[in-house]
Amino acid sequence: MTPIEQQLQQIHQQDSFFHHIAHEHFGLVVVVSALLLLLCLILLRTLRDLQSKEKILKEKEERLRLALDGSQDGFWDWTVKTGGNVVDSQWCRMLGYQLDEIDPTIKQWENLIHPDDLVSATKTLQRCMNKEFSHFASEFRMKMKDGSWKWIIGRGMVVTRDTDQRPLRLVGTHRDIDRQKKAELALKKALHNAEAERNKIDAILKSIGDGLIVTDQQNQIILFNQTAKALLQIDDSQEQILDIGETVEGNLLASKVQEILNGDKNCYC
């Protein structure tokens, strides 16, 4: 047998072998082919879903950025795994910095927050990451470039999670609320001081042996002590009486007060 004939015989034998395998395992080949086709379809659909979700996310981000362009809010974008925190120029200007002067990391954000506010701010952020709520808002002070402190309200949400629902990415805003917050704190302080003064007045009124009644020009009672309460015969059910004329001795007292207001007398006994 010549070499060429030997090669032809080998090819024929191999062809017969593969033909035998294909014939014997035709059903298995069909099943495997179907599974491969199904896998390809699943992968294709998954890819399309991811592309659709990515498109929706980009559209939301674009709407957010357009909305921020017309406001004074600063934008931030935190990638949890790397710790990178991308911020825009308004975010930086709010604290007196230029964009290239800020280290874009979550650690830098923590370093800029007032120590007294850091625990509360990070706790609120963590609760959102743990899915206790979808959005978060937290008020805290941040250190300005000049060393002063400014009140900020930070808002945000988780936009991406992995298959185990662990947060991968968060986005949000910062807004300057320094003037409003300082006005609010000043009001609280004033109310606290007023309450303290009221307590002092109450203590003085209780220590006075004589009855003390304070009225306005319409004979409306503004203030009276316990001694006056007894003199006017006011019981507990009449604590809300405003007009002195409604008391037992009020009519006489009201006429005396009116004489003083008219200039007829300087005082009465």
Nearest to 208 by CA among 191, 225, 232, 223: 225
Average pLDDT over residues 201-229: 74
Residues 64-86 have pLDDT tens digits of 666 555 567 999 999 999 999 99
Q: What is the pLDDT of residue 155?
A: 94
Beta strands in 100-134 (DSSP E): none
- Average pLDDT value over all residues in the chain: 79
Checking if the pLDDT of 23 tops 60, the result is no
Residues 209-218 have pLDDT tens digits of 777 777 777 7
Instruction: List the Cα angle 168/61/78 in 5-degree steps.
Output: 30
Average pLDDT over residues 49-69: 67
Confidence grade of residue 224 (pLDDT, cut at 50, 70, 90): confident
Average pLDDT over residues 167-192: 93
Beta strands in 63-183 (DSSP E): 74-79, 85-87, 135-143, 149-161, 167-176
Which of 72-76, 149-153, 177-181, 220-224 bottoms out in mean pLDDT, i.e. has the lowest?
220-224
Average pLDDT over residues 37-53: 78
Q: What is the pLDDT of residue 8?
A: 47
pTM: 0.57
Q: What is the pLDDT of residue 199?
A: 83
Rounded Cα–Cα distance for residues 158 and 25 (Å): 51
Rounded Cα–Cα distance for residues 159 and 58 (Å): 11
Residues 149-159 have pLDDT tens digits of 999 999 999 99
Confidence grade of residue 247 (pLDDT, cut at 50, 70, 90): low
Q: What is the pLDDT of residue 222?
A: 73
Q: What is the pLDDT of residue 202?
A: 76
Confidence grade of residue 105 (pLDDT, cut at 50, 70, 90): very high
Checking if the pLDDT of 9 tops 60, the result is no
CATH architecture of 73-183: 2-Layer Sandwich (3.30)
Residue whose structure tokens are 């399309």: 48
Kindly give, in sequence order, each residue whose CB lies less than 8 Å from that of residue 61, ignoring residues fewer than 6 positions away: 171
Average pLDDT over residues 29-57: 75
